[in-house]
Amino acid sequence: MILSDILRFIHFSFYKLFKPEITIGEAKISDWKTLRPWLDPQSQQDENALTAPNCTNLVARHGKKIVGFVQLLRLKNKNTDELWLNSLLVGRSYRRLGIGTLLSNAVIGLTVQEGQNILRLRVRESNKPAVQLYIKLGFGTEKSEYFKQNEKNVKWLIMKKVCS
Ligand SMILES: CC(C)(COP(=O)(O)OP(=O)(O)OC[C@H]1O[C@@H](n2cnc3c(N)ncnc32)[C@H](O)[C@@H]1OP(=O)(O)O)[C@@H](O)C(=O)NCCC(=O)NCCS
């Protein structure tokens, strides 16, 4: 175990015992600098994503510190919007404390609020923490797709939840 792992373990144990107060709210333009490195480097998003009408961006904060992020993306599909849960991420030292669940549930709540009942997401099949989280939240696999990444075929799952 190296020092950074030991420090992370102490930090984690502390927070597991004394649950940090986490608030979920919409991201502000001033959050962009913090958030950009968290987003998929291949995504073309810039800070306009924080105000774009087809996205709602939520952050989890511990005090003033941003400790998690998720995006609700509305994609035009014929006459309706398809809703996608996108870019869920929790800071390393804050994982396994329920923050991913809080953020995902906030997106599920927005889906229902918008009068929609289907929420989708895309996740690498090998990403066990994320897949476990989504299964726990009631998502099921709708289909799978393979994409070439660094010369390898990577399996992605499209997961779907019927929200009520
Ligand atoms: C996936 C991720 C968002 C989970 O966030 P989190 O705040 O740690 O999740 P939670 O604490 O709400 O965990 C809820 C459940 O998810 C599952 N889970 C979370 N992390 C897990 C892990 N490392 N291994 C196995 N299951 C895990 C468990 O079922 C967990 O419930 P439990 O703690 O009662 O066992 C976080 O690990 C992360 O940011 N990963 C990197 C980014 C990423 O892969 N995002 C997903 C993109 S599709």
Would you list the domain boundaries of the chain? 19-162
Q: Ligand 1 centre from 103 Cα, in Å? A: 11
Pairing of β 65-77 and β 80-90: antiparallel
Q: Ligand 1 centre from 132 Cα, in Å? A: 7
Mean pLDDT of 21-32: 92
Q: What's the pLDDT at 79?
A: 76
**Residue 96 clears pLDDT 70, i.e. is over it:** yes
Mean pLDDT of 54-82: 90
Pairing of β 140-149 and β 55-62: unpaired
Best residue among 62, 133, 139, 155 to mutate for probing ligand 1's pocket (most ligand atoms within 8 Å of CB) is: 133
Q: Is 130 in the pocket of ligand 1 (CB under 6 A)?
A: yes
**Residue 42 clears pLDDT 70, i.e. is over it:** no
Atom 47, ligand 1: residue with shortest CA distance: 88
The model's pTM: 0.90
Q: Ligand 1 centre from 96 Cα, in Å? A: 6
- The tokens describing 41, both together, are 């480097």
Cα–Cα distances (Å) from 45 to 41, 48, 73, 110, in that order, read 9, 7, 12, 21
pLDDT digits 0-9 by tens, 109-128: 999 999 999 999 999 999 99
Superfamily of domain 19-162: Gcn5-related N-acetyltransferase (GNAT) (3.40.630.30)
Rg (CA), the chain: 17
Q: Which of 3-12, 118-127, 146-155 has the lowest mean pLDDT?
A: 3-12
Q: Ligand 1 centre from 46 Cα, in Å? A: 26
**Residue 59 clears pLDDT 90, i.e. is over it:** yes
Question: Which residues are CB-contacts of 74 (< 8 A; sequence separation ≥ 6)?
Answer: 53, 54, 55, 81, 82, 83, 84
Q: What's the pLDDT at 1?
A: 62
